[in-house]
């Protein structure tokens, strides 16, 4: 029988998206074999996520400063906007090199079947962005 702490680690790892029971066990066995320096560094990186990562005040993407690299890049097409559900969707589109406009990240899913509503503050933020920029083309790239 495995120690309770080990089972708790597996449960914690299973809460991560895309990690099933077998993967959680494999990661847990991997972690138990690592030295303290590795584990402390990993724990530190995870615990810093909320403190060190900031979001663009214009589009909600990851940002080092007030604006993200995309919003700060004046050579991007300022007349096109692509609205995405999540930051990871923005990066998937960026990897295709097929869009050179700006983005807006809703940070929530639009699911008509589940009648999910988006936070009204996000909608206000989006409406202000639309008014400020005067976009000619708006693409809704949500699922």
CB of 116 to Zn ion, least distance (A): 24
CB of 10 to Zn ion, least distance (A): 37
Site for Zn ion in 31-60 (CB under 5 A): 56, 58-59
Nearer residue to Zn ion within complex by CB, 61 or 85: 61
Evaluate whether 31 touches 9 at the Cβ level (below 8 Å): yes
Nearer residue to Zn ion within complex by CB, 58 or 85: 58
- The burial class, CB within 10 Å (0-12 / 13-18 / 19+), for 132 is exposed
Kindly determine how many residues on this chain lie close enough to bind Zn ion according to the rule CB under 5 A: 6
CB of 56 to Zn ion, least distance (A): 3
Nearer residue to Zn ion within complex by CB, 56 or 84: 56
Using alpha carbons only, give the angle 30, 34, 36 rounded to the nearest 5 degrees: 145
How far apart are alpha carbons 88 and 103 in whole angstroms? 12
Site for Zn ion in 55-94 (CB under 5 A): 56, 58-59, 61, 68, 71
How far apart are alpha carbons 73 and 60 in whole angstroms? 15
Q: What residue ranges bind Zn ion (CB under 5 A)?
A: 56, 58-59, 61, 68, 71
């Amino acid at each position: 029988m495995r120690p309770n702490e080990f089972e708790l680690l597996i449960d914690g790892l299973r809460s991560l998206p895309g990690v099933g029971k077998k993967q959680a066990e494999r990661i847990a066995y991997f972690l138990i074999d690592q030295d303290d320096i590795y584990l402390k560094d990993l724990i530190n990186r995870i615990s810093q996520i909320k403190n060190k990562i900031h979001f663009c005040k214009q589009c909600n993407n990851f940002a080092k400063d007030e604006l993200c690299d995309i919003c700060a890049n004046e050579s991007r097409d300022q007349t096109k906007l692509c609205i995405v559900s999540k930051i990871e969707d923005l990066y998937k589109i960026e990897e295709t090199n097929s869009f050179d406009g700006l983005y807006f990240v809703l940070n929530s899913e639009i699911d008509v079947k589940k009648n999910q509503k988006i936070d009204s503050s996000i909608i206000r933020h989006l409406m202000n962005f639309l008014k400020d920029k005067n976009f000619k083309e708006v693409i809704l790239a949500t699922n």
